[in-house]
Chains A and B, each alone.
Chain A
Amino acid sequence: MSTSSTAPTSLDRRRFVQGAAAAAAGGALWPRAIAAQGAPWAQRPPGNPQKLTFVVWQYGKIYEQISKQFEDDWGIKLNQIIEPNVEPQVAKLTTMFGAGDEVDVSLSPIQYLASYIQQGIAVPIDGLPGVDQYVKDFTPFARAAAQRDGKTWGLPYFSTAWIFIYNDELLGKAGFKGKPFRSYPELVEQARKAKKDGVAKYPILWIAGAGFEQLPGTWFNLTWNRGGVIFDKQLAPQLGAGSVARETLKWWQSTFKEELADPNSLNLRFIPACKAFNAGQHVFLGTLHHYYISLINDQAQSPIAGKGRVLGLPGDGKTIGYTMLYILTSATKNKEWAWKLQQYLGGRTKNGEYTQAQRLAQDAMLASGYQSVMESELLRKAWAKWADVPTVLDVFKKATNFADVVPAVAQPWYPRWSDAINVELTACLQGKISADLACDNMIAALATAKRG
């Protein structure tokens, strides 16, 4: 457990004077920094904590980089608790919180935010210096994800939207050069042709591995694209007989029955699916986050680099998007400094830049929760090496916030229901149960999930 002191010391004063002088000198050299001086992100909070703690899951080296910058800028050590994946990160955060440890900032997937609020882990950030400016710059997804009950619960980590990807070379071999499907019948037609011509044994690779965003995400996305929702605004499930969701599941199951879809899909989450697609044995990959095209077109890793193309969803292109958040926890002992750290992870650094967001866009093709970053030339230039940028940005324009399609995601019981529907969807796509039974079971599972 870390300790912190808020008592100012002579070192604090000295460091403050040095910092102010350096900032003033820097401002003289760099006009942009002058503006930053007057902005809240350049101001040093009171106190001098020995250490600040954040709990996140690993993504490249982004946390080592931003931590070094924070420590260099403010002279405060960071306790970086970086877990390998979402589930262990959740366990780490909650056990630390339950044990009374100090945690200042954490990541929160959208499906866990309601639980974090209910458990008293997350606290609103309204009223902290600069929050209003951030909120004005939020994208619609980020605003929808970060604000509920009239309060703002965090800053965006990244945004994403679901897409299809296709192998341009194989599509051409199947006789559809430059004409990827625009409807579901066309998808089936092209897949059948590719199979018949021996272009691919299983032309379609679905993201259908168990998880929160994978197997259910694909189903939700297909359902929404076909005009349905999973829950209505009153949280009543829309999975009954004749519902779009149920019919979509029947159609999805049929792609497996007809052996157009690779049965290995049921074991594939995002990155493994990309690796499988990179082997060049599938024509279509869907549906997954937009930025995975960067793996498929990565010259260093992918045998089919340069052949991957982004394709928006069929018809009117309706798809789903969302943002993940960095939250401030109630376990912090120094809210002002915790807020400073939170901004380094999900907002602006001392120089006024969205450093982390820009780095994520440049290095990993992640979209931002800030409109200004999404509209920046830097992002367009960086993304151009992986995909057709206008196509990707157009997907975002047509994307609806996850919570509008699945309003229950904002309920504390949602993760448990998500576990249950993963079981039903898997059984259905394996052909063990019908789509009707799967949907009935999913409706029945709501009662258990709500009991907690």
Chain B
Amino acid sequence: MTPGTGTDRAESSVRPDHGPRRARRRGELSAGRLAFLLNVPTLAGLVLVLAYPICFAGYLSFHEVSIRHLRAGEFPFAGLANFSRLFQDEVFWLSLRHTVVFVVASVVLELVIGLAIALTISDERVWLSRITRVLILIPWAVPPVVNGLLWSFIVNAQYGYLNRALHKLGLITDYINWLGHPRLATAAVIVAYVWRTTPFNILLYHAAIQGIPAQIYEAAAVDGASSWQSLWRLTLPLLRPVIAVTLILRTTFSFMVFDEILAITQGGPGNDTWVAAWYTYRMAFQPPFNIGLGAASAWVLAVIVGLVAIAYVKLVYRRVEYA
């Protein structure tokens, strides 16, 4: 086997499917139409619970909306005033910068740690791997705000478990004020978030690894590939679609991080951990209750997330078949 062969061969193996044409000739539903019809209830649900609020938020972003207006149901048209104010607000740009740092750090960590753990627990030779697979999902089951509270106890400077453990181990002499320094506070939130969300990646990677035919590895072994070569030349290329999916999902979710911020730092110290979702919440649901501005902020965030998702699909996602 030559480098990259697996992926290249897989891409070239995608063949045109003439099934739908034949099905139409027989008066049957094509696979595409059937898929669409089966998805109609889901689409209807999504329109109700997602599309309507999103569109309504878009509508609000072009209006002057306070709590009073919301209750009365009357919103004076504001044109682009909310967006104009948003883009002039230094705190918004600061929040965006913090968000980008958070997203990049958390997604990279989730990817690397998730892959490493998935590869480890996929190896049947690793004893207790089955139990580990179950245990590893526990953080994913923890509600985000509970996770935030849990970590706020861990990193508390005065009575946190982390300082206590480090002190007992003799690694520190004075307790570290984890939430008092911008970088440490950001790191604390990232660690808390990654701890909760990495199991999601592990789950997907593990499932994908299990789906790779063993024969491919056997063939590689016959060709003399080492374990390292198998990983780089076979496993990772074949995991590319699922990596793309996790990148898209985790990036979009990371952009919306809120609970851990609320529970651990409240945006502090100062506003050093203000992220975009926190900014949106503060503008809309704390005085002066500028819901129009909050909606504009949410929409800008949504557009950014959408663009990032499109870029991922274009750059990372590839169809893979084990032909």
Contact = CB atoms under 8 A, between A and B. Distances in A.
Contacts of A115: 287-289
B238 to A, nearest CB: 45
Contacts of B70: 98-99
Contact of B67 (A121, A279, A452): A121
A423 interface: yes
B71 A263 contact: no
Chain A at the B interface: SS class = helix
B68 A264 contact: no
Contacts of B288: 115, 412-413, 415-416, 452
Nearest to A211: B266
B139 interface: no
B67 A91 contact: no
A100 B268 CA distance: 33
A426 B67 contact: no
Given A98-B70, A264-B177, A279-B158, A91 B270 contact: no
A415 B286 contact: yes
A424 B272 CA distance: 12
A243 B156 CA distance: 36
Contacts of B299: none
B158 A95 contact: no
A87 interface: yes
Contacts of B67: 94, 97-98, 119-121
A91 B177 contact: no
B80 to A, nearest CB: 16
B271 interface: yes
A264 B287 contact: no
Given A121-B67, A451-B85, A91 B285 contact: yes
Contacts of B195: none
Contact of A90 (B266, B269, B286): B286
A276 interface: yes
A267 B285 contact: no
A26 interface: no
A119 B68 contact: yes
Interface SS majority for chain B? loop
A427 interface: yes
A404 interface: no
Listed residue (B89, B266, B270, B290) with the most chain A CB atoms within 10 angstroms of its CB: B270
Interface residues of A, number: 44
B312 interface: no
B59 interface: no
B147 interface: no
Given A413-B288, A427-B270, A452-B288, A97 B71 contact: yes
A264 B156 contact: no
Nearest to A415: B287
A264 B157 contact: yes
B268 A275 contact: no
A276 B270 CA distance: 21
A91 B286 contact: yes
Contacts of A119: 66-68, 289
Interface in A90-109: 90-91, 94-95, 97-100
- A121, A263, A423: residue with the most chain B Cβ atoms closer than 10 Å: A423
Contact of A112 (B71, B85, B179, B287): B287
A419 B271 contact: yes
B180 A120 contact: no
Given A119-B66, A120-B71, A266-B180, A412 B287 contact: yes
A422 interface: yes
A264 B175 contact: yes
A272 interface: yes
B46 to A, nearest CB: 22
Given A97-B71, A120-B68, A121-B67, A264 B289 contact: no
B281 interface: yes
Interface in A386-442: 412-416, 419, 422-424, 426-427, 430
Interface of A: 87-88, 90-91, 94-95, 97-100, 111-112, 115, 118-121, 209-210, 263-264, 266-268, 272, 275-276, 279, 331, 412-416, 419, 422-424, 426-427, 430, 448, 451-452
22 contacts: A87-B266, A87-B286, A90-B287, A91-B281, A91-B285, A98-B67, A115-B288, A115-B289, A119-B289, A263-B177, A266-B269, A267-B157, A267-B180, A267-B269, A268-B158, A272-B156, A272-B158, A275-B158, A279-B158, A415-B288, A419-B271, A426-B268
Given A95-B285, A119-B68, 7 more contacts: A94-B285, A267-B179, A268-B158, A412-B287, A426-B268, A427-B270, A451-B85
